[in-house]
Amino acid sequence: MNASVEDIDARLPQHQCGRCGYGGCRPYAEAIAAGESDINRCPPGGSIVVGDLARLLGRRPLPLDPEVGGIEPEPVARIDAATCIGCTKCLPACPVDAIAGAPKRLHDVIDAACTGCGLCLEPCPVDCITLEPREDASAARRRLDPPPARLDAARQRLRERAAELRERYARHERRLADSQRRRRRQLDTADGDDVDTRRREIAEAVARVRERRATAR
């Protein structure tokens, strides 16, 4: 049975953790729709998501692929205030913008937005970020069937972050183009200088060097 990418994505938990092997829930949904990936590669969703996808696609439910890990209590990121140096390296790593901070200022995690994906750990140069459980196993099982409002909010944060990154890239490209235009104008101006003037300046510089050498002898 065929299903749209939107229908598949609507059944994923929007953790954007990448444990499925893709960059987020939407790319994973696209891979499932294209027949490039199976339905059992979402540890945060576990058996509930596998069952939902199996019913949607008319497939047989599968156990969670051991390659992607198991269902675990949902963690939350914590930042050690005494160690954080405000480098901001963790900010672009967070796929859901759950970290608040600014250069040379203490960062903090927005619990309600954090999905516990752990992608902020590696970029931190001082290892001040840890993952701590915020629920027990029974709460983790209940969490596998989140309310639609939570999923919609997660998708909206992801869309806003993607739009912001696109705008940042566009601004960078505009700055680069402006810099290149200024450089070309400078070169054009230099090429238009009087050739005789430049030859005279070079000759005078060579003469000064020879004079210094003669004096030193």
Domain ranges of the chain: 5-68, 148-216
User: At which residue do the structure tokens 């939350």 appear?
Assistant: 76
Token pair recorded at residue 35: 């027949």
Nearest to 75 by CA among 22, 116, 109: 116
Token pair recorded at residue 77: 């990121």
In this predicted model, what pLDDT tens digit does every residue of 2-54 receive, in sequence order? 789 999 999 998 888 889 999 899 999 999 999 999 999 998 888 889 999 99
Averaged pLDDT of the chain: 83
Distance CA 48, CA 155 (A): 19
Distance CA 181, CA 176 (A): 9
Q: Residue 136: its pLDDT value, please?
A: 56
Average pLDDT on 129-153 reads 67
Q: Which CATH number fits domain 5-68: 3.20.80.10, 3.40.640.10, 1.10.15.40, 2.40.50.140?
A: 1.10.15.40
Average pLDDT on 190-203 reads 68
Does the pLDDT of residue 190 top 90, yes or no? no
Say what percent of the chain tops pLDDT 70: 85
The count of C-alpha atoms lying within 13 angstroms of the C-alpha of 196, restricted to the half-sphere facing its C-beta, is: 0
**In whole angstroms, how large is the CA radius of gyration of the chain?**
28
**CB burial readout 157-196, b (16+ within 10 A) else e:** bbeebeeeeeeeeeeeeeeeeeeeeeeeeeeeeeeeeeee
